[in-house]
């Protein structure tokens, strides 16, 4: 890279005058959008020697554009390295540097799903087949960079001792060309904190400073490490070559130019989330920040009436071939639906559905004595319970594949309202309520005593009157793959049964409310399918 005097962040658009590659068509950074990335089962990144201590202290330097250090050998005489991902060789860690903003600007170089982070750390690696960084930069497969995001938090709930050692030394290198020794046995792995490295975006790009060599395979992690404000603001006091404050040292976004971005979703499986801060899910699961998220509030007079044949509920009224087995997974109680006695699983098709959707599982959402528990809100009412019957489009082999496609999943949602009667006679639902006390503990499961049909969980609901819209799973990974079917009728649940849901415990032995907040509807259309003849059912009607 060119010397510090030759370029600055004042006019990055002129870098191409001295470094023509900066005007190339594979430049970095770019705006990464999870919705237009190719989700692929890429190999995870393998980290070699990342946890072996480095053999010497780090020499942290202010180079006028950034803060950086060269990565020394580890105590076993080798360099930390990475393989895996889309890399075809071993890449050794060479240097680490940072990009930041200011008190008023976030400073990451890459933007993920419209979000810029406060700081971006780059760990630069060289392909072992090239002798020097200069030679590597001349080859398209020469370099691999890991991009790690930091976000400011006022009170961090996690401490990263390795990173804090570096932040603590920043005041010692305020001036250009000053350097400081960071003591203590650090390993390169400590720079990654508890980052979920199993989930990343990868694409082919460039160095983000002159000479902008198009030799970088980028790996950008969507999960951001929470760092205390007082640490991040130390970056904002550093000075550049001319003694001016070195702020906003990030290059503007570059054109993607139809380059594919690949997305590895995995790792901290979607079991690892809590309802404490659902608004933060998208840090770990970027799709949770998408534009077609669920649940939503449905208002009848804002929906579009649609004339469509009814949905066929196939085999819904045939008994299941074995008793349902309910499990507490720490987020809900659920059961997988076995085949019916006729050999196949229940399914839905027809009406608004173009394909056959086979049932996978049933689960519930609930509140507490203080909060209502339905996820969807209907005409301003949040109800007490919401049951989800999840179906997979049969043209996809499994749920993991189905959630990658917008026609992959169909969920039937049933809302329940508490009533003052001791028992509401619904044979199927009563079987479910009877099992609940046996699955209070996390990971416990319990089987019913009798066979029921899936349809018996719908009580006497009018299956022909429902709302439908395109949305997402309401839990991570929040895949936007769901055709929602929400019945207009509300089923009653006895005040004696409702608290059985409230008594269910999570993995920490605590009660929980498993309701995701209402999501923005954006410009989505919500349709209302009404029966042509309103048939008054006997019994309870909303």
Three-state secondary-structure class, residue 449:
coil
For residue 302, the tally of other CB atoms under 10 A from its CB is: 12
pLDDT for the residue 539:
43
Mode of pairing for the β-strands spanning 297-298 and 377-378: parallel
Three-state secondary-structure class, residue 23:
helix
Any idea what the Cα angle at residue 444 is, between residues 443 and 450, rounded to 5°?
A: 135
Report CA torsion sign: 477, 478, 482, 484. positive
pLDDT for the residue 21:
97
Residue 471 falls in which region: left (phi positive, over 0), alpha (psi -120 to 50) or beta: beta
For residue 182, the tally of other CB atoms under 10 A from its CB is: 17
The secondary structure of 139-179 as a DSSP string is STTSEEEEEEEEEEESS-SS--HHHHHHHHHGGGG-STT-E
Q: Rounded CA gap, 49 and 174, in Å?
A: 31
Please write the tens of the pLDDT for every residue from 322-342.
999 999 999 999 999 999 999
- CATH of 291-529, picked from 2.60.40.10, 1.10.630.10, 3.30.70.260, 3.10.200.10, is 3.10.200.10
Q: Rounded CA gap, 120 and 341, in Å?
A: 57
- Residue 86 half-sphere exposure toward CB, CA atoms < 13 A: 21
Show Cβ contacts of residue 87 under 8 Å, excluding neighbours closer than 6 positions.
45, 144, 217
Q: Rounded CA gap, 72 and 53, in Å?
A: 10
For residue 465, the tally of other CB atoms under 10 A from its CB is: 17
Closest CA to 392 of 352, 354, 350, 361: 361
Confidence of residue 270 (pLDDT cuts 50, 70, 90): low
pLDDT for the residue 508:
86
Please write the tens of the pLDDT for every residue from 376-406.
999 999 999 999 999 999 998 889 889 888 9
Contact 478, 337 (CB under 8 A): no
Q: Rounded CA gap, 527 and 330, in Å?
A: 33
Q: Is the predicted pLDDT of residue 536 greater than 50, yes or no?
A: no
pLDDT for the residue 472:
97
Contact 389, 359 (CB under 8 A): yes
Q: How far is CA 203 from the centre of its chain?
A: 19
Q: Rounded CA gap, 20 and 17, in Å?
A: 6
Q: What share of the chain is helix, strand, coil (3-state, %, to 5)?
A: 15, 30, 50
Residues of the chain with CATH 3.10.200.10: 40-268, 291-529
What mean pLDDT is predicted for residues 475-496?
96
Indicate which residues carry an active-site annotation: 65
Q: Is the predicted pLDDT of residue 233 greater than 90, yes or no?
A: yes
Contact 374, 386 (CB under 8 A): yes
- Please provide the average confidence, as pLDDT, over all residues in the chain: 93
Closest CA to 513 of 425, 340, 334, 384: 384
Q: Is the predicted pLDDT of residue 354 greater than 70, yes or no?
A: yes
What mean pLDDT is predicted for residues 448-461?
96
Q: Is the predicted pLDDT of residue 268 greater than 60, yes or no?
A: no
496 burial via Cβ count (<10 Å: 0-12, 13-18, 19+): middle
Mode of pairing for the β-strands spanning 347-350 and 312-314: antiparallel
Show Cβ contacts of residue 219 under 8 Å, excluding neighbours closer than 6 positions.
45, 85, 144, 145, 146, 147, 200, 201, 202
Contact 315, 342 (CB under 8 A): yes
What mean pLDDT is predicted for residues 236-255?
97
Q: Is the predicted pLDDT of residue 138 greater than 90, yes or no?
A: yes
513 burial via Cβ count (<10 Å: 0-12, 13-18, 19+): middle
pLDDT for the residue 266:
64
Q: Rounded CA gap, 286 and 480, in Å?
A: 11
Closest CA to 162 of 181, 180, 183, 144: 183
Altogether, the residues listed in the chain come to a count of 542
Closest CA to 67 of 204, 175, 146, 217: 175
Confidence of residue 241 (pLDDT cuts 50, 70, 90): very high
Confidence of residue 537 (pLDDT cuts 50, 70, 90): very low
Closest CA to 33 of 328, 263, 206: 263
Please write the tens of the pLDDT for every residue from 52-83.
999 999 999 999 999 999 999 999 999 999 99
Contact 445, 327 (CB under 8 A): yes
101 burial via Cβ count (<10 Å: 0-12, 13-18, 19+): buried
Report CA torsion sign: 204, 85, 403, 393. positive
Q: Rounded CA gap, 295 and 417, in Å?
A: 18
Q: Rounded CA gap, 226 and 475, in Å?
A: 22
Closest CA to 99 of 112, 81, 116, 82: 116
Show Cβ contacts of residue 41 under 8 Å, excluding neighbours closer than 6 positions.
264
The CATH architecture one would assign to domain 40-268 is: Roll (3.10)
Confidence of residue 424 (pLDDT cuts 50, 70, 90): confident
Show Cβ contacts of residue 276 under 8 Å, excluding neighbours closer than 6 positions.
none
What mean pLDDT is predicted for residues 491-516?
95
pLDDT for the residue 194:
86
What are residue 180's DSSP bridge partners? 60
Residue 467 falls in which region: left (phi positive, over 0), alpha (psi -120 to 50) or beta: beta
Burial string for 354-380 (b: 16+ CB within 10 Å, else e) reads ebbbbbbbbbbbbbeeeebbbbbbbee
């Amino acid at each position: 890279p060119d010397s510090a005097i030759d370029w600055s962040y004042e006019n990055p658009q002129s870098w191409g005058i001295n470094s023509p590659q900066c005007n190339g068509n594979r430049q970095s950074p770019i705006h990464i959008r999870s919705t237009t990335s190719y989700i692929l089962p890429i190999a995870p990144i393998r980290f070699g020697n990342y946890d072996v201590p480095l053999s010497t202290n780090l020499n942290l330097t202010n180079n006028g554009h950034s803060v950086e250090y060269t990565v020394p050998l580890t105590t076993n005489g080798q360099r930390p390295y990475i393989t895996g991902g889309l890399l075809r060789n071993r890449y050794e860690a060479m240097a680490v540097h940072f990009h930041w903003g200011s008190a008023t600007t976030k400073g990451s170089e890459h933007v993920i799903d419209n979000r810029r982070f406060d700081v971006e750390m780059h760990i630069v690696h060289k392909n072992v087949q090239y002798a020097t960084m200069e030679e590597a930069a001349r080859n398209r497969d020469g370099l691999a960079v890991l991009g790690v995001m930091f976000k400011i938090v006022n009170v961090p709930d996690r401490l990263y001792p390795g990173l804090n050692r570096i932040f603590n030394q920043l005041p010692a290198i305020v001036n250009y060309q000053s350097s400081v020794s960071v003591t203590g046995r650090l390993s390169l792995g400590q720079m990654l904190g508890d980052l979920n490295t199993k989930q990343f975006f990868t694409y082919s790009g460039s160095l983000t400073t002159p000479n902008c060599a198009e030799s970088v395979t980028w790996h950008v992690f969507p999960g951001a490490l929470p760092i205390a404000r007082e640490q991040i603001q130390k970056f904002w006091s550093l000075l550049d070559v001319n003694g001016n404050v070195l702020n906003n040292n990030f290059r503007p976004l570059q054109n993607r130019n139809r380059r594919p971005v690949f997305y590895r979703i995995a790792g901290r499986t979607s079991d690892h989330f809590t309802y404490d801060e659902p608004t933060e899910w998208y840090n770990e699961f970027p799709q949770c920040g998408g534009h077609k998220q669920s649940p939503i509030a449905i208002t009848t007079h804002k929906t579009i009436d649609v004339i469509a044949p009814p949905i066929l509920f196939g085999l819904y009224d045939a008994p299941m071939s074995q008793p349902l087995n309910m499990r507490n997974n720490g987020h809900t109680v659920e059961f997988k639906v076995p085949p019916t006695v006729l050999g196949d699983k229940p399914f839905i098709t027809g009406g608004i559905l173009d394909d056959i959707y086979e049932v996978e599982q049933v689960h519930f959402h609930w509140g507490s004595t203080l909060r209502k528990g339905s996820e969807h809100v209907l005409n301003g009412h949040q109800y007490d319970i919401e049951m989800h019957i999840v179906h997979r489009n049969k043209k996809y082999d499994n749920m993991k594949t189905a959630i990658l496609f917008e026609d992959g999943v169909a969920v039937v949602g049933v809302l329940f309202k508490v009533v003052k009667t001791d028992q509401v006679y619904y044979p199927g639902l009563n079987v479910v309520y009877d099992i609940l006390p046996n699955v209070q503990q996390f990971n416990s499961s319990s089987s019913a005593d009798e066979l029921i049909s899936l349809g018996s969980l719908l009580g006497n609901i009018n299956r022909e009157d429902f709302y439908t819209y395109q949305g997402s799973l309401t839990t991570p990974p929040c895949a936007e793959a769901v055709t929602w079917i929400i019945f207009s009728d509300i089923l009653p649940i006895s005040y004696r049964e409702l608290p059985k849901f409230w008594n269910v415990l999570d993995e920490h032995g605590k009660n929980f409310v498993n309701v995701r907040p209402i999501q923005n509807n954006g410009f989505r259309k919500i349709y209302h399918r009404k029966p042509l003849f309103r048939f008054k059912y006997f019994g309870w009607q909303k």
